Amino acid sequence: MAGITITGVVKGFGATPVLRGVSLAVEPGEFVALVGPSGCGKTTLMRIIAGIETADAGEIVINERAVTRLRPAERDIAMVFQSYALYPHLTVRENIAVPLAMRRLSVLERLPLLGRLLPGARRKRASIGDEVRRAAAPLGLEPLLDRRPGQLSGGQRQRVALARAVVRRPAAFLMDEPLSNLDAALRVQTRREIVDIHRAAGVATLYVTHDQAEALTMADKVAVMMGGELLQVATPEAIYADPADLRVAGFIGSPRINTLAAEADAEGRVRVAGVPAGLRAEACGALTLALRPEALRPAAKGLPVAIEHLEFLGDGLLLHARHVPDGAALVARLEPEAREGLQPGAALRLGFAPGRALLFGADGRRVAARADAGLVPA
Ligand SMILES: Nc1ncnc2c1ncn2[C@@H]1O[C@H](COP(=O)(O)OP(=O)(O)O)[C@@H](O)[C@H]1O
Ligand SMILES: [Mg+2]
């Protein structure tokens, strides 16, 4: 079965380390999104997997075959990058057919006129034509097969690049921000198509994006990379609700997760600005309490805040406030009906269920915690 296994990949450019020992497995048939801020090393890792760049250390296995020392063409992977890299002088049909023509036709058979006269070439071309149509149809490209790239929109060009990747039936797909040139509406539609293509092909896919929403919506597993290191690899649900690292918690989710300085006494009792927070941590000393906007709600007991402003979202309401003791900014995501009675400048308490509170140590790693009965906030 086909999959991608990356083990201990290290890469530096000159004295600058870019990848600091990256290990990641994309299981057969799995869709893994590699997400992280711009410049964290995502493209460098993809280029190393593809064989366009060499690693300083580490191993790449594709389809149970060590490919670290193989040329790109020998690795049996298809790549789709942000730039479409289509041949401008070839039609859509010919562009999609390129990988098959290169693989199946001899140099003579590929010649436009002479090739047609050679015995066998006609049959091979017909079967290539069938496969091109099969790759083009689900992407809505059939009506465009005779156009040239110059006569297509950006979204259509990216679909041609996708069809050209699919038609090869590779052991793995590598996609590096393939949607970043598309406008928002087209991006959402093409996301769905890429997921459908992946399902239909059943091939291990590593998909790079800097957009955390794209990673959460598309992937079976999300790998969060920062500063050339993978911080966490987990399901979208676990990455969101159970982040292992404060940087993961801060990068994933919009609006951004709220953070407050906290401290735990020798018994692990957590206080925020001196007030017991209803939590018992398995650590003591300085901590960060992190709360998703939807984990906060107006309550009788809770964090004392001053309302700054309200943002009506249609299906929700964002309450922007300041934590009175230390001025920390907080955002709560409420039901739209909650607007009644909330006025800028007014004092309010924001409560949270202890189960929704996330604690992180001074090193940014997650600290286990449980509810501590009888304390505020409730
Ligand atoms: N060929 C190169 N030579 C020198 N530095 C490079 C080269 N390619 C990438 N880098 C640097 O490596 C870092 C990671 O780049 P990249 O992998 O493109 O990040 P990402 O795709 O996550 O935005 C960046 O600081 C970038 O400037
Ligand atoms: Mg990049």
* Ligand 1 contacts CB of residue 259 (under 6 A): no
Same domain, 210 and 266: no
In whole angstroms, what is the distance from residue 81 CA to residue 258 CA?
34
In a domain, 247, yes or no: no
Atom 5 of ligand 1, nearest CA residue: 13
Same domain, 212 and 281: no
Same domain, 235 and 317: no
Which one of 209, 241, 273 terminates a domain? 241
Q: Residue 334 maps to which CATH number?
A: 2.40.50.100
Cα dihedral sign for 273, 275, 276, 278? negative
Gap from CA of 95 to ligand 1 centroid (Å): 29
Q: Is the pLDDT of residue 1 over 60?
A: no
Higher model confidence: residue 207 or residue 80?
A: 207
Query: Which pLDDT tens digit goes with each residue over 310-333?
Result: 999 999 999 999 999 999 999 999
Higher model confidence: residue 245 or residue 190?
A: 245
Same domain, 49 and 106: yes
* Ligand 1 contacts CB of residue 40 (under 6 A): yes
Inter-CA distances, 8 with 11, 49, 230, 267, Å: 10, 12, 11, 39
* Tokens (6 digits) for 95: 């562009």
* Ligand 1 contacts CB of residue 19 (under 6 A): no
Higher model confidence: residue 137 or residue 34?
A: 34
Residue 21 — pLDDT band, cuts 50, 70, 90?
Answer: very high
Atom 4 of ligand 1, nearest CA residue: 13
Same domain, 46 and 176: yes
Total structural domains in the chain?
2
Same domain, 106 and 199: yes
Higher model confidence: residue 325 or residue 378?
A: 325
Cα dihedral sign for 300, 306, 310, 311? negative
Domain region containing 316: 255-371
Tell the residue number behind the tokens 């079967």, with chain if given. Answer: 127
Residue 377 — pLDDT band, cuts 50, 70, 90?
Answer: very low
Query: Which pLDDT tens digit goes with each residue over 331-342?
Result: 999 999 998 889
In a domain, 73, yes or no: yes
Same domain, 231 and 298: no
Q: Residue 54 maps to which CATH number?
A: 3.40.50.300
Q: Is the pLDDT of residue 117 over 90?
A: no
Same domain, 236 and 259: no
Which of these, 378, 360, 373, lies nearest to 269 by C-alpha position? 373
**47 phi and psi angles, rounded to 5 deg:** -65, -35
Mark the residues whose beta carbon lies below 5 A from ion ligand 2.
42-43
Gap from CA of 36 to ligand 2 centroid (Å): 10
Atom 17 of ligand 1, nearest CA residue: 41
In a domain, 248, yes or no: no
In the DSSP assignment, the letter for residue 195 is H
